[in-house]
Amino acid sequence: MKNHTLGFPRIGAKRELKKAIESYWAKNCDQNELQKVAADIRANNWKKQQDAGIDLIPVNDFSFYDQVLDLTLTLGAIPERYQELANDENVSELDLYFAMARGLQTAKHDITAMEMTKWFDTNYHYIVPEFVKNQSFQFLSKKISREYKEAVALGINAKPVLISPASYLLLGKEKEDGFDKLDLIDDLLFVYKQIIEELQDLGATQIQIDEPFLALTLSDKEKFVIQKTHQFLAKSFPKVEIIITTYFDDVVDNLELAITLPVKVLHVDLTRGDELQLEKILKSDFKNKNTILSLGLVDGRNIWKNDFSKSIKKINKAKEILGNDRVWIAPSSSLLHVPVDLKSEQKLDEELLSWLSFATQKLEEVVVLSNLGTHPSNADLLALEANKKAIETRRESVRIHKFHVKNRESFIEEKDAQRTSAFVHRKQLQKQALDLPLYPTTTIGSFPQTPEVRSWRAQYKKGLLFQEEYQSLLEEETAASIKFQEEIGLDVLVHGEFERNDMVEYFGEQLEGFAFTQFGWVQSYGTRCVKPPIIFGDVERLKSMTLGWTVYAQSLTKKYVKGMLTGPVTILQWSFVRDDQPRKTTCNQIALAIRDEVVDLEKAGIKIIQIDEPAIREGLPLKKANWNTYLDWSVKAFRLSASGVKDETQIHTHMCYSEFNDIIESIADMDADVITIECSRSQMELLDVFAEFNYPNEIGPGVYDIHSPRVPLVDEVVDLIEKAEKYVPKENIWINPDCGLKTRKWPETKKALEIMVKAAQQIREKVVVSC
């Protein structure tokens, strides 16, 4: 019974890769130094898996920014606007790669970044491939070959990892009309053949092909393309063992397709989806084939310790039908989505630590489970007993359950999640109360967290700054940001969030039922890493969380300052959530806590309150059949958080990097007075669905991309606003950036916001002239 992993975190235990890349971008180190850091991380990851006893170790799971972008460069699918860079012999492959991810603005070049969106239902973001009608592919970047040779030289039993050609096409977007991206499959397969031929020549005998779309609802054409892909690969490479991996949900809807694919190993995620998936596979014709079944038993997306007793039952069930040799053990997915090593944590208490498992510990779980399924040693049996004790201790712990919190959540009524009046009435009251101009300008919430701000926080946490000193420094920073916003003419201001480390962690630190790590970093996109809180128990708010800073900022100006909160669904989605009660219940508990904060802000005189929900779309189950149940409770949770205020109080929400087409009705049901959304990279294409739906409420389409250091031109912003006018009535349009500005630097931020305000002023002047 073999074991293997699908991927390992690449940022480094203490974000070494992030620091090296950002140093490279700032020109504080050269490419050789950056490549050295990357090589060390890869070697450490491979050695760690080898030392843990992993039989088959993935390579090409490392990435400087994103694995989909890696593949785009490998396949030479470079959009036209980057061709000048690609043809410039003075531009390295890595610099071209970063330009595609972030855009590039120099004296010689001004190129926008590629679009970014969520990776299935995770908080990871990928760079969306762009396809045109006559799209060409070529084996361009040799990254996968270089890293395979690197691993083999270190004595690693390596399996190269590739996203399937079919899934790659499904992840992309057609950038012109008149063709179906799936029709590009033949040209793409030709290049995949070249890639695998080179890997085979280097000695690769087993290759992991990720086919995540097998866990989704597929059209007949999509099924055909997946089948065609694997028939082609099997025919072209009879001596290569293909390990096809699915994850994030079950394959039950596509079971007939999955079990007939000509592959050596089929990997399935047994931690999500249909609980009877394993039984259905074992009862199917799969048992009569020679294909190996890889059991994804160890959760690759959450940090709770695996329940060995439950996993062993599944292993034994599979062994009984298939035999030892046709059963492999693995995590459910790549371990990219969990922190690196629990041993780095020095501040979590022993009881909580005993319930947890990070990527390094999950390697140990995989190995112990594979041993327990065959010939366990005394150490394996001791590990089983220790596991049973930890599982039981968690189940019985009194720190998890608060019955007054459970009681409040159980008595939520329908009226608690409804505003007093419909939007059409609220809009008139808010217009009279707020008296804002046409095309009001604002930002999404956060301002740049400079090295100084971060150092103050670090010193404060280490006890090197007294509370009074820290407070004073942050007040000065907040006052400066208010002054800047007034000077450039923004209409609705924000306090800047300098006191906040992360939009979820900040709130979790002030809520009961949350725990926090020191080094629990996971990658969100590029060099952006987050430290998700751990929701281990019932959630409640004991005191106000944002009132002090919001009221202070409001006292500095006569303009409106928004109250800035993170919504209940996003706090849930961007945390490691307890798995001992329904997610709906936990979400409602968080919603009640946010509701109390919203009510307190209104009582303090705050007229505009933003409740960010960027994660609602990513929480959708992968199976469309399960969408309505999720959307029902998630939208109600948002409304529960927002509905405790008067009609005159304006509720905003923010959503970013999501496809809204299939959930537009639910977005409307959220009933926010104003929604701000990411739009600039898509050139306002995302507004099309709002127009088709006749979305009634107000919208702030992002007019410049905050994930790129590039500063837009006034004419570009004006053009985007004018495009927005084609979709949305002008009296419903707000002007704002795509997202918060925390990760940007002040010089580019100031220039971009000044340009944004100038563009809004120009549009207003055009309206006056036209009238």
Place of tokens 């499959």: 185
Q: How many CA atoms lie within 13 A of 338 on its CB side?
A: 29
CA-wise closest residue to 360 among 592, 677, 53:
53
Q: Where are the alpha helices (DSSP H) in 359-450?
A: 359-372, 378-396, 403-410, 423-434
Question: What CA–CA distance (Å, rounded) separates 36 from 57?
Answer: 21
User: For residue 125, which phi and psi values (nearest 5 degrees)?
Assistant: -115, 140
Query: Which among 309, 312, 253 is positioned nearest to 281, based on CA atoms?
Result: 253
Catalytic residue, from 230, 495, 654, 707: name it: 707
Q: What angle do CA 695, 700, 701 make, to 5 degrees?
A: 90
Token representation of residue 258: 């999955």
DSSP letter at 4? Answer: B
Q: Are the C-beta atoms of 739 and 702 separated by less than 8 Å?
A: yes
Q: Cα–Cα distance between 292 and 619 in angstroms, integer?
A: 31
Residue with tokens 């004991």: 542
Residues 541, 470: contact at Cβ < 8 Å?
no
Residue 769: CB partners within 8 Å, gap ≥ 6?
none
Identify the CA nearest to 168 among candidates 154, 157, 181, 156: 181
Counting every residue written for the chain, the total comes to 771
- In order, the DSSP letters of 617-663 are GGGS-SSGGGHHHHHHHHHHHHHHHHTTS-TTSEEEEEE-S---GGG
Can you read off the two tokens belonging to residue 36? 């050295």
Question: Which three-class secondary structure string do you get for 573-598?
Answer: HCCEECCCCCHHHHHHHHHHHHHHHH
DSSP string, 306-329: P-HHHHHHHHHHHHHHH-GGGEEE
**CB of 217 within 8 A of CB of 239?**
no
Residues 6+ apart with CB under 8 A from 301: 122, 248, 271, 332, 333, 337, 338
Strand partners, 661: none
Residue 19, burial from CB neighbour count under 10 angstroms (0-12, 13-18, 19+): middle
Cα–Cα distances in angstroms (integers) from residue 211 to residues 185, 193, 216, 298, 526, in the given order? 15, 17, 10, 19, 23
How crowded is the C-beta side of 743, counted as CA atoms within 13 Å? 20
CA geometry: angle 162, 164, 166, nearest 5 deg: 160
> 90 is written with which tokens?
């003075």
Question: Of 484, 533, 487, which Cα lies nearest the Cα of 512?
Answer: 533
Cα dihedral across residues 497, 503, 504, 505: positive or negative: negative
Number of Cβ within 10 Å of residue 430's Cβ equals 22
Specify whether 652 is catalytic. Answer: no
Yes or no: say if 713 and 751 are a contact pair by the CB < 8 Å rule.
no
The tokens for 130 are 């762009």
How many CB atoms are closer than 10 A to CB 543?
9
Q: List active site positions.
A: 707
